Amino acid sequence: MRAFVSLARAMFKGFLRDRTSLFFTLFFPLFFIIIFGTVFSDQGAAKQKVELVGEVPLISSLPADARAGLDEVFQLSTGDDLGAAVESVRKGDLAAAVQQQGDTIEVHYSAADQVGSATVLGVLNSFIGQANIAATGSPPKYTLSQQTVEDASLKAIQYVTPGMIGYGIAIGATFGAAMTLITWRDKKLLRRLRLAPISTASVVGSRVVVSLLVALVQLVIFIGVASLPFLGLKLTGSWWMAVPLTLAGTLAFLSIGLFVGAIAKTAEGGAALANLITLPMAFLSGAFIPLEVAPGWIQGVAKVLPMGWLVTGLKDVMVRGQGPGAALLPIAILLAFSVVVGAIATRFFKWDKA
Amino acid sequence: MADTIVVTDLVKSYESKNAVDGVTFSVADGEFFGILGPNGAGKTTTLEMIEGLREPDSGSVSLLGMSPWPRNSKLLPRIGVQLQASAFFEQLTAREQLHTFVDLYGQSMARVDELLEMVGLQDKAGTRAEKLSGGQAQRLSIACSLVNDPEVVFLDEPTAALDPQARRNLWDVLRDINDRGKTVVLTTHYMDEAESLCDRVAIMDNGKILQLGPPAVLVRGLDAPVRISVEQAVLDADSARGLPGADQVEQDGSSTIITTRTPSPVLSALAERDALDGLQVRGATLEDVFLDLTGREYRA
Ligand SMILES: Nc1ncnc2c1ncn2[C@@H]1O[C@H](COP(=O)(O)OP(=O)(O)O)[C@@H](O)[C@H]1O
Ligand SMILES: [Mg+2]
């Protein structure tokens, strides 16, 4: 037990202190989450520019949350010169100019920009309607709750996050196991350990535990960052099933890493082989591009790849609102994969270079 | 009492080549034993069969009365092995390396500081293994092989690739280990190292042991001549030829070189003539033994 803990601690420290491994397992996927999350986050229609001419109490006295709603569709500015504002509307620089005289709201719009003016008129109409109801002092009877069907799945961060978690875990586990095996063998540390009074199970077990730990750290950090307000990941009900999925996925890629480590002779060769396996797999598994928009053959291929099951499972429970049961089949397949590939890796395992 | 290591007719071949070809020797308790030979002689292969890292094709090894192959977990806590100065955990400091090995051998944490002091690495305790110099890394790897206070220590070319000063510093560490009563088996391709450290040395070439014994005995057994050189200014070649016991005299630049099998009368005659300026006496070394055994110059 002491040997096991000690080896695990040594490996974990080694991981934390190695810039390359930290970069590829943490910062690289994180970078994608942030880039894709921010670049593609603003997919809504462009805001309409509306100028308020003089005092417009209907809008300036709106409660904060209502005002925030308005700011989402309008880019509001204020001015005093109606003539100049109307001229800007004519030129298309403004979608509308709004004036209030007593209880009447006057909107100047251009018939040339039909979409813009229709949006402005529709929004203002609904505001006036709500203001009228509010003025009667009785609560509104009907409310309209809007829900787009695609809402969740269309927002980039929603599919980028599970994809990057899947990819990050895959490279973390594959490289971690492969590099430990290769460098330890290369530096004769494996043989040194073979001469220490410890069991092989301690050596393998500590590597497995460290990989699982690293994967959980990745999961927490990736979800944590993606949930920051500027990225706005919204998790659905049984997202916690991502934890067992992550663990099963780690075991699967750990076995791939052990296999790579068993057959590769040098660290460079091992890194190349690990990339050669994980990178194309990421493209074919929906980690980088959503499977929904991928050609049919890719969707088929994803069904036989461990990363495909991992990413699909993660998406189902984290963002598609599926129940916990949706993760069971992917978990079972990932575990079966680990057993088979792990057994093959054991076959090829060598203590020594020669 | 039985010998600590008994190796009998050990053979190991790779493809068609015999890396180790019928090696027999034994090492007594507390002895400092050296295996000396040029690169490719079969030293490492021999050592690894004794440690239990390789299976002999034939022959037998008894280490502390037990067989090291297959992996013998009763033996492991009693031996210490230094394989190569790079056998460290990546990114860990010297102290953390030792700490980890102390854990692996179930020893007490006090060992860490003891060992750091023993190999003189106290002020490098916080340095990562990758950043240590060659000599420091060698000392750390030797410290790692001593965590379990082993009865037998195996060192494979511990001073390879070190500068002369670092080598000599390490020799002190190795003598110290042997003085603590441990049996030490060391391989080296440095003649002077074997001569200076080992109680007995086996000279190996092409997988075979050519000669085995205490270095001084091997050299004496050669009955090789001694070369005495003095400044030509105090003794020219002609007068040198007249000295008692001078077998052969040469002129080399500003020196007169006398070759003799009986150095005592030559030296006293030189002293009488007050001709000792720039005196150098060079006796035979293990290098001459190797030359004598193989008919070729020793080149590590
Ligand atoms: N694993 C191996 N496979 C093939 N040949 C080997 C292997 N290990 C050593 N040899 C060969 O056996 C011979 C002895 O090697 P070694 O024991 O390492 O010599 P030394 O340690 O004296 O330099 C060398 O010719 C070497 O090339
Ligand atoms: Mg060697």
Q: What is the DSSP string of A171-208?
A: HHHHHHHHHHHHHHHHTTHHHHHHTSS--HHHHHHHHH
> Can you tell me whether residue B105 is helix, strand or coil?
coil
- Interface check A196 vs B, CB under 8 A: yes
* Other CB atoms within 10 Å distance of the CB of residue A38: 14
* Residues of chain B with C-beta less than 8 angstroms from the C-beta of A3: 103-104, 106
- What tokens does B235 get? 């003794």
Which is more confident, A93 or A238? Answer: A238
Instruction: Give B151-189 as a DSSP string.
Output: SEEEEESTTTT--HHHHHHHHHHHHHHHHTT-EEEEEES
- Does domain B226-283 correspond to CATH entry 3.40.1800? no
What is the residue extent of each domain of chain B?
3-214, 226-283
Q: Right CATH number for B3-214 from 3.30.470.20, 3.40.47.10, 3.40.50.300, 3.40.50.1370?
A: 3.40.50.300
Mean pLDDT of B81-92: 87
Q: What is the 3-state secondary structure (H, E, C) of B51-79?
A: HCCCCCCEEEEEECCECCCCCCCCCHHHE
Q: Grade residue A143 by pLDDT with cuts at 50, 70 and 90.
A: low
Q: Grade residue B239 by pLDDT with cuts at 50, 70 and 90.
A: confident
- The H or E element that residue B115 is part of is helix B110-118
Nearest C-alpha in A relative to B76: A197
Which is more confident, A336 or A265? Answer: A336
- Interface check A197 vs B, CB under 8 A: yes
Lowest mean pLDDT among A319-328, B245-254, B282-291: B282-291
Which is more confident, A263 or A142? Answer: A263
Question: How far is Cα B241 from Cα B114, in angstroms, rounded to an integer?
Answer: 59
Determine, for residues B104 and A196 on separate chains, whether the beta-carbon distance falls below 8 Å. yes
* Residues of chain B with C-beta less than 8 angstroms from the C-beta of A192: 81, 83, 87, 144
Q: Is B188 in the pocket of ligand 1 (CB under 6 A)?
A: no
* Residues of chain B with C-beta less than 8 angstroms from the C-beta of A196: 76, 101, 104-105
Q: Is B200 in the pocket of ligand 1 (CB under 6 A)?
A: no
Count of CB pairs separated by less than 8 Å, A with B? 69
Lowest mean pLDDT among A54-58, A75-79, A143-147: A143-147
- What tokens does B168 get? 């000599």
Nearest CA to ligand 1 atom 12: B19
Mean pLDDT of A79-101: 86
* Residues of chain A with C-beta less than 8 angstroms from the C-beta of B153: none
Q: Grade residue A151 by pLDDT with cuts at 50, 70 and 90.
A: very low
For A54-76, write each residue's pLDDT tens digit.
888 888 777 777 777 777 778 88
Please state, for a pLDDT cut of 70, what percent of chain B lies above it: 98
What is the residue extent of each domain of chain A?
2-41+154-348, 48-136
Q: Is B150 in the pocket of ligand 1 (CB under 6 A)?
A: no
Minimal Cβ distance to A189: which of B88, B91, B99: B88
What's A292's DSSP letter?
G
Listed residue (B290, B231, B285) closest to B258, CA to CA = B231
Q: Is B43 in the pocket of ligand 1 (CB under 6 A)?
A: yes
| CATH architecture type of domain A48-136 | 3-Layer(aba) Sandwich (3.40)
Question: How far is Cα A248 from Cα A241, in angstroms, rounded to an integer?
Answer: 11
> Rounded to the nearest whole angstrom, what is the distance from the C-alpha of residue B176 to the centroid of ligand 2?
24
Determine, for residues B100 and A7 on separate chains, whether the beta-carbon distance falls below 8 Å. yes
- The H or E element that residue A122 is part of is helix A114-136
- Interface check A170 vs B, CB under 8 A: no
Lowest mean pLDDT among A101-105, A188-192, A219-223, B64-68: A101-105
Question: Going by DSSP bridges, is the β-strand pair A48-53/A74-79 parallel, antiparallel, or unpaired?
Answer: parallel
For chain B, the straight-line distance linking the first and the last C-alpha, in angstroms and rounded, comes to 36
Nearest CA to ligand 1 atom 16: B42
Q: Do domains B3-214 and B226-283 have the same CATH topology?
A: no
- Interface check A267 vs B, CB under 8 A: no
Please state, for a pLDDT cut of 90, what percent of chain A lies above it: 53
Determine, for residues A2 and B87 on separate chains, whether the beta-carbon distance falls below 8 Å. no
Q: Grade residue A354 by pLDDT with cuts at 50, 70 and 90.
A: low
The pLDDT value recorded for residue A153 is 42
Nearest CA to ligand 1 atom 21: B44
- Beta-sheet strands, E only, within chain B: 5-14, 17-27, 32-36, 58-63, 79-82, 152-156, 183-188, 200-205, 208-213, 226-231, 248-252, 255-260, 280-282
* Residues of chain A with C-beta less than 8 angstroms from the C-beta of B96: 10, 13
> Can you tell me whether residue A98 is helix, strand or coil?
strand
Question: How far is Cα B36 from Cα B212, in angstroms, rounded to an integer?
Answer: 10
For chain A, the straight-line distance linking the first and the last C-alpha, in angstroms and rounded, comes to 31
Edge-first strand order for the sheet with B79-82 is B79-82, B152-156, B183-188, B32-36, B200-205, B208-213
Nearest atom, ligand 1, residue B48 CA: 17
Nearest CA to ligand 1 atom 17: B42
Residue B161 · residue B152 · CB < 8 Å: no
**Residue B75 Cα, gap to closest chain A Cα (Å):** 9
